[in-house]
């Protein structure tokens, strides 16, 4: 087993996840890159991680599916031994944006499965391993959940996404409380408008809003902005914080007149 620090990043092949993988790799981590279907993107991210100075292992699987999730847990522990860092990044937007009054249960269930239920039960399984390591004299790991400004900002044409991200904030608090006796700190990072394939369809809209002073920092966020925040936490920069929500949103969260 490698002497490198060990991390799992779900949804690590593209977008924000890829930015996190590369930031950790640059610090010498071995990163297990979970992906659901786009192997080509995950392989490219793994190659880039190795080029940045880290190691990478691909861990395919759908965290929303219980059987597949169990395979992700087993493959991760096989590749890493135990984890120093879990990053719950995998997420999805609804396949169609529709008004709350027209939202269907199938869309709600799909988004909640990927964005909240899957991360919760994945964390439950891997946190047990972290606790066991501490109980046997090992060091505690850390957990970072990737939320969204949509957790506190109403968007009635993608209500299921907003609800899932609001739930992640409470999930972070519950995990931080539960795991504190073992020194396992839990954080949530809330990205703002990040330029990825998920936001490509609304780019023109947000280009105009950003130009019209939507955020004090007048630009799109980039995946590496989130990667830097995760790497700072992973490097031990916040040892006296847990349950903390860290907003990487260009100042969007401020209420300005």
Q: In what order do the strands lie in the sheet with 85-88?
A: 55-60, 30-35, 6-9, 85-88, 142-146, 185-191, 244-248
Contact (CB, 8 A) for 135 and 83 = no
Residue 190: closest CA among 221, 160, 159, 218: 221
Rounded CA-CA distance 5/24 in Å is 9
Residue 52, Cβ density class (10 Å: 0-12 exposed, 13-18 middle, ≥19 buried): middle
Q: Which of 108, 161, 187, 206 is catalytic?
A: 161
The answer to whether 161 is a known catalytic residue is: yes
Active site residues: 161
């Amino acid at each position: 087993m490698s002497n490198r620090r060990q991390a799992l990043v779900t949804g690590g092949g593209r977008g924000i996840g890829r930015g996190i993988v590369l930031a950790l790799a640059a610090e010498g981590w071995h990163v297990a890159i979970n992906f659901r279907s786009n192997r080509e993107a995950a392989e490219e991210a793994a190659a880039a991680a190795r080029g940045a100075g880290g190691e990478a292992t691909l861990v395919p699987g759908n965290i929303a599916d219980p059987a597949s999730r169990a395979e992700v847990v087993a493959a991760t522990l096989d590749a890493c031994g135990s984890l120093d860092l879990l990053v719950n990044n995998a997420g999805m937007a609804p396949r169609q944006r529709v008004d709350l009054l027209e939202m269907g249960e199938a869309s709600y269930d799909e988004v909640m499965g990927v964005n909240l239920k899957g991360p919760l039960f994945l964390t439950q399984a891997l946190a047990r391993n972290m606790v066991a390591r501490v109980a046997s004299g090992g060091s505690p790991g850390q957990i970072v959940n990737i939320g969204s400004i949509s957790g506190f900002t109403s968007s009635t044409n993608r209500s299921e996404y907003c609800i899932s991200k609001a739930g992640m904030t409470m999930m972070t608090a519950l995990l931080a409380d539960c795991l504190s006796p073992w020194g396992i700190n839990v954080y949530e990072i809330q990205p703002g408008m990040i330029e990825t394939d998920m936001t490509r369809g609304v780019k023109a809209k947000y280009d105009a809003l950003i130009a019209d002073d939507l955020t004090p920092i007048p630009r799109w966020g980039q995946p590496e902005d989130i990667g830097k925040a995760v790497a700072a936490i992973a490097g031990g920069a916040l040892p006296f914080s847990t349950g903390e929500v860290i907003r990487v949103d260009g100042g969007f969260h401020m209420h300005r007149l």
